[in-house]
Structure 1
């Protein structure tokens, strides 16, 4: 009996010991599982505190420290980080007033491929490819037909002054080509805003029809007011509606190679400036002025038919109401305002060599046959001036190259054109000036795009060229008045041309200094 009791007591003790052992084992397993879960959470926390990326690394670290101090859960931290990521994505293409602030360091701020502070990532731009280069081709055709036509205005200055309008003074005749330049650039703010709202399609169609119609009406003109309205206003307005969509579209497709793309496109204006003067001077004696103008109009019609199908925007337009503050606001930015001031002063003199070099050469004894090729020489050299500085600018800085070419233009006007009185120096001047002044057309839009939000490129480019238009309107008449004041001598005109270019260069230097001082820097 005692033995049975002892055995029973031992069994009871063994069962209790076994239960205690099982309990301890389960506790150990629970602790190990708990430790593993804590370790996993710690690893996740470390991964979230130090994520990959640039600026978001710092944001995540600050968020992690903050929420850890507040003893909040990891889930809350993850939600906060996700919210920050969505905000970052939303800032890539901000809207309205916030867009200008968010893009303070703007699209194209430096010629490299690193993301730009403010949300614009250069990787978002195709920067090449069939579609992008097709837009450049269409833009080339647009500039051939618009700016290229305007580049041959010196031929009409000479023809009108010696043939149908010979009873008018040089200053009076010069208002026709000056009005053509003025109206083409004057449309900038309106056509730039229309491009931002609706894209290039309808603008190009409207411009193509109006440009051709104006030239057809010019072919029927015999009186001063008819030439003035048909060529100086109607045709120029059509050229303006062609010019701005092309300039604005290319900026949306390129970032790192933007100046080079603009240069290739702008070479169309140079080649147009070579072909149109030769075409006009050769055809007028053979088929007469009316059919010469019609031939040019048909040529432009065919080229614009191709351009209408190849020029297109990369970003879908977002219509917004027209507000004057959109045009005025950029002028409050020192860098932008100084660029506009520099272009205004530089453009006072830009077209004077194009308008008056033929008359100046003939007054110094150059034959009519040879002098008719001077514009072709200028525009032929500007083909290289449009392209080469653009490629260089993408590597050494667009502002740097703009300043160098502007200064060189002023130097050769004052140092070469002013003292020249024989054929050789005049021809050399035309070649050098064509190259240096050609860089202005290709580099100026890339400067504007470099310091502007991408969705405001159209309106800002338009405002810039509106400032240029004011100088283009008055530059040639002032030159004609100085020519009359100097009794037919070109000294006053040449000095005025050179001094305004020096002033323009100084403003470009000031715009650069606002951004980076006088440091040797790629900008």
Structure 2
């Protein structure tokens, strides 16, 4: 996992942020070397597992909101008199705040341990979900969504910030495993939510999900140990505006913002779109889960590939193909392409999310990672706010015919294409700065 030889030059020493964790002790102290290597490995694996569990719950619930949205708008649902656009705002607010509130994690972790930060988020998110089960008015759903989103943003980011830092050669794989919890969670939660609504009703279904979140993310809170790196806590400002003077930083943030704006749209509308193609609502919920399960496996697989062919290279391939899938398979609005859309979008879209953190470390270094990661996820939250709500407005008619989704598909494809352009320009700048020149980036 870590290098085993002492750097020969200052440049090499600076490029190895794990020097204090590397096996660099003098030969006369082999037990100390072994202890440090094993400890680092243990803490890294523990943080990755915790990140998997938090992503499983936070985004598993968030990304399967399409199931709740479909039910809320039915004649027996609590929001039957509201449009799809207004109902989608509930889930969008929660997911957007989950990302946006990541910007405050650095400030919290300057004063609290990752465990205590995560426990605060765990309790807030669980309260938001549980209390939603008591809601009867639209504004109450919104308020609970806000609490859920703030809590989710606080609980999931500490392992995301700490976990990849423990790894070097296999950093993309570790990040892929961590973020695969999102897809596995969405697969499980989409079907579990559908089952709970049918068996115990939506109110008790949400309460059960809330208590489940309390247990799972609460346990994960005790699994994250902050890396003992001297530059890990560098800077004490929530935002370092001087970093925005860098074109690379701006391109990274814009690429992340645009990708998140387009990413959720197919997932949120997939269930209802499937019904418009002639599938049942149960099949629609299943399709959401299948896409996310493929998404999870893809994150692990592409993480392995990225560690071999280059993280930025893999990120670019997935960005381009995600946009191509939307234009080629969603825009035609025919049943024959729907299964291909589910599979291929699941393969390429989620990999982008898991590759962004290791790319961030590779481009800007460990010292900037914790702060830039908060800014990046804040940008992703803004992207969520301009994505699905506008996409819902662009759905023409009643949304009961496949062609009603054409404008939303075009909007989604444009967002993902613009993200690919930003990340592509970033890739070119990073390649031009690389010395010596090497195709692996």
- Name the TM tier (shorter chain): 0.7 to 0.9
Q: Specify which of 490, 495, 498 is matched with residue 405 of structure 2.
A: 490
Are positions 1:229 and 2:126 aligned together? no
Segments of 5+ residues of structure 1 without an aligned counterpart are 1-51, 56-87, 89-104, 106-114
SS of the equivalent of 1:475 reads helix
Give distance in 2, aligned partners of 1:196 and 1:442: 25
Give distance in 1, aligned partners of 2:376 and 2:358: 12
SS of the equivalent of 1:336 reads helix
SS of the equivalent of 1:236 reads helix
Segments of 5+ residues of structure 2 without an aligned counterpart are 1-5, 23-36
SS of the equivalent of 1:490 reads helix
Give distance in 2, aligned partners of 1:262 and 1:334: 25
Q: Specify which of 322, 327, 344 is matched with residue 409 of structure 1.
A: 322
CA shift for structure 1 position 520: 6.0
Could you say if the C-alpha distance between residues 195 and 455 of structure 1 is closer, same or farther in structure 2, counting changes exceeding 3 Å? Answer: farther
Q: What TM-score does the superposition give when structure 1 sets the normalisation length?
A: 0.74
Q: Specify which of 428, 432, 456 is matched with residue 368 of structure 2.
A: 456
Q: Is the 8 A contact 2:63 2:268 kept in 1?
A: no
Could you say if the C-alpha distance between residues 426 and 444 of structure 1 is closer, same or farther in structure 2, counting changes exceeding 3 Å? Answer: same
Q: Match of 2:429?
A: 514
CA shift for structure 1 position 118: 5.3
Q: Is the 8 A contact 1:327 1:463 kept in 2?
A: no
After superposition, residues 61-460 of structure 1 pair within 5 angstroms as 115=12, 117=14, 120-121=17-18, 124=21, 126=37, 129-162=41-74, 163-230=77-144, 232-315=145-228, 322-323=236-237, 326-422=239-335, 424-460=336-372
Give distance in 1, aligned partners of 2:381 and 2:160: 16
Q: CA offsets per residue over residues 425-460 of structure 1, 9 Å max, x none? A: 212211211121110221111111222342432221
The alignment covers a number of residue pairs equal to 412
Q: Match of 2:31?
A: none
Give distance in 1, aligned partners of 2:92 and 2:263: 12
Give distance in 2, aligned partners of 1:355 and 1:329: 36
RMSD: 2.4
SS of the equivalent of 2:332 reads coil
Are positions 1:54 and 2:8 aligned together? yes
CA shift for structure 1 position 500: 1.1
Give distance in 2, aligned partners of 1:506 and 1:484: 28
CA shift for structure 1 position 196: 4.7
Q: CA offsets per residue over residues 274-302 of structure 1, 9 Å max, x none? A: 11110010111111111111111122122
Give distance in 1, aligned partners of 2:7 and 2:196: 64
Bigger radius of gyration: 1
Q: Is the 8 A contact 2:95 2:149 kept in 1?
A: yes
Could you say if the C-alpha distance between residues 520 and 369 of structure 1 is closer, same or farther in structure 2, counting changes exceeding 3 Å? Answer: same
CA shift for structure 1 position 487: 7.5
Q: Which moved more, 1:463-472 or 1:313-322?
A: 313-322
Q: CA offsets per residue over residues 191-222 of structure 1, 9 Å max, x none? A: 13322553312111101111111111101111
Q: CA offsets per residue over residues 151-201 of structure 1, 9 Å max, x none? A: 112112212222211211111111111111111011121113322553312
